[in-house]
Amino acid sequence: MSNPPVRRGLYVPSAYWAAPSRNFRSSTRLHLQHYLWQNTTKFLLEPRIRTSIEQRKQVKIADLGCGNGAWLADLDNELSQKYISAQLNGYDINELNFPPPAFLPGSITLTKLDVLSERLPMEAIGAFDVVHIRAFSSIIINNNTMNLLSTALALLKPGGWIQWEEWGTDLIIEPASPQLSTVSCEKIARVLKVGGDAQGLNVDFVRELDRHLIKAGFQQVFIREDMKRKQDYKGWTEDFLIIWEEVASFFPSRGETPQESVTKESWAQLFADAVKETEQGVALHRGSVFTAIGRKPFHTGQRS
């Protein structure tokens, strides 16, 4: 079957994520995703990092692209139970989903910042023991992780850790029984793959995150893959459906460009059909999540 044509030039990550329409719906999805992620990895800080910082009395941790701060809020709880005093800084290009400071633990500060720009706050340079990144793959174009990794290196103290968590790379469309139709889900996945490829949205780098960290200069690099639990498939499916519903905004309406093969109207129909398939027992998920960690060298020029 030939691939459906997809309009180019519509997805600009910073504009998409900074838009006011990334509002409570996006935040709801991120809350859901956070809990599903925790069910999968069962850690906030990867155990090697946890062990490394456990004996300290004080830590400073940054979360880049922190969304609504759900990860930081849980981390505050975990660290305070261990009597570790923490300063937790979240940075995001969109502040719309930040909870008000009055509702956050005193350790957490959330700041609007484009972490891919070169202008980082002076006080943040070399200030952090850990830099955390999660679910940033849709902002990485053409597998180019260098800007983000340079930011992480700049923010870390010598010997500080990076922890980068990402979705698995393959979208799995899994019917609960073989007679169920997956036609509409497959079609949507194909449209998005073609559209994503045309925009340089290739998530292949995720499987090689360890290599990317080493290339950027990190040491003690380690990557792990945690498989999703079947009992979470329904939640992951709903997470996907919310993304697919949002994607409608990228297509022109039939009235604007009748020659386009994918329009808002045809997408809405396809989406409704895909939802029916999931209601009958088709799961959408990515199989696993990956976590890559690494350490900034203690001395410039130090090799692993």
Ligand X SMILES: C[S@@+](CC[C@H](N)C(=O)[O-])C[C@H]1O[C@@H](n2cnc3c(N)ncnc32)[C@H](O)[C@@H]1O
Give the up-direction half-sphere exposure of residue 161: CA atoms within 13 A in the CB hemisphere: 22
Minimum CB separation of residue 182 from ligand X in Å reads 25
Of 1-9, 60-68, 152-160, 248-256, which part binds ligand X (CB under 6 A)? Answer: 60-68
The verdict on 271 binding ligand X (CB under 6 A) reads no
The verdict on 92 binding ligand X (CB under 6 A) reads yes
Minimum CB separation of residue 70 from ligand X in Å reads 6
Minimum CB separation of residue 134 from ligand X in Å reads 4
Joined tokens for residue 104: 């956050």
Spatial separation of the C-alpha atoms in residues 235 and 36, rounded to whole Å? 7
The verdict on 93 binding ligand X (CB under 6 A) reads yes
Among 3, 14, 23, 77, the residue binding ligand X under the rule CB under 6 A is: 14
Q: Which amino acid is at 30?
A: L
Of 47-55, 110-118, 177-185, 266-274, which part binds ligand X (CB under 6 A)? Answer: 110-118
The verdict on 30 binding ligand X (CB under 6 A) reads yes
CA separation (Å) from 302 to 15, 58, 194, 219, 295?
Answer: 38, 26, 42, 9, 12
Beta bridge partners of 222: 293
Enumerate residues 6+ apart whose C-beta is below 8 A from 247: 192, 267
Enumerate residues 6+ apart whose C-beta is below 8 A from 173: 182, 185, 186, 189, 282, 283, 284
Of 28-36, 72-80, 155-163, 207-215, which part binds ligand X (CB under 6 A)? Answer: 28-36
Dump strand ranges (E) for 113-198.
128-134, 156-167, 172-175
Measured from the CB atom, the residue of 107 and 151 that comes closer to ligand X is 151
Q: Which amino acid is at 77?
A: N
Measured from the CB atom, the residue of 62 and 221 that comes closer to ligand X is 62
Among 36, 46, 49, 67, the residue binding ligand X under the rule CB under 6 A is: 67
Angle, vertex CA 147, rays to CA 153 and CA 94, nearest 5: 100
Phi and psi at residue 206, in whole multiples of 5°?
A: -60, -40
The verdict on 94 binding ligand X (CB under 6 A) reads yes
Per-position x/- string for 128-157, each x denoting binding to ligand X as judged by CB under 6 A, each - no binding? ------xxx--x------------------
The verdict on 114 binding ligand X (CB under 6 A) reads yes
Measured from the CB atom, the residue of 212 and 277 that comes closer to ligand X is 212
Per-position x/- string for 200-239, each x denoting binding to ligand X as judged by CB under 6 A, each - no binding? ----------------------------------------
Q: Is residue 226 within 8 Å of residue 301, measured between CB atoms?
A: no
The site for ligand X (CB under 6 A) is made up of: 13-14, 17, 30, 33-34, 65-67, 70-71, 91-94, 114-116, 134-136, 139
